[in-house]
Amino acid sequence: MDSSTLFSLRLSLQVAAAATMMMVFCGIPISYLLARKSFRGREVIDMLLTLPLVLPPRAQAAVTGQKPT
């Protein structure tokens, strides 16, 4: 393998490790709070965390003019 392939592989692994660590230290406490506690603004936080799961198909449909799947 050449150096650019190794660089790409190393970068991908570093990004995956950083994202995993961020989710461990941020995602687990937030998910615990959303599942166990009731507080003001809970619905807004839940919506903001769910939005990336819903938005990409809708945005793609708006750009292409097709119905979302």
Mean pLDDT of the chain: 87
- pLDDT attached to residue 50: 87
Q: What is the mean pLDDT of residues 55-66?
A: 73
- pLDDT attached to residue 44: 93
- From residue 32, alpha-carbon distances to 17, 25, 28, 38, 39 in Å are 22, 12, 6, 11, 13
Q: Is the separation of the CB atoms in 63 and 53 below 8 Å?
A: no
pTM: 0.59
Q: What is the percentage of the chain residues whose pLDDT exceeds 90?
A: 62
- pLDDT attached to residue 68: 59
pLDDT digits (tens, 9 = 90+) for 15-38: 999 999 999 999 999 999 999 999
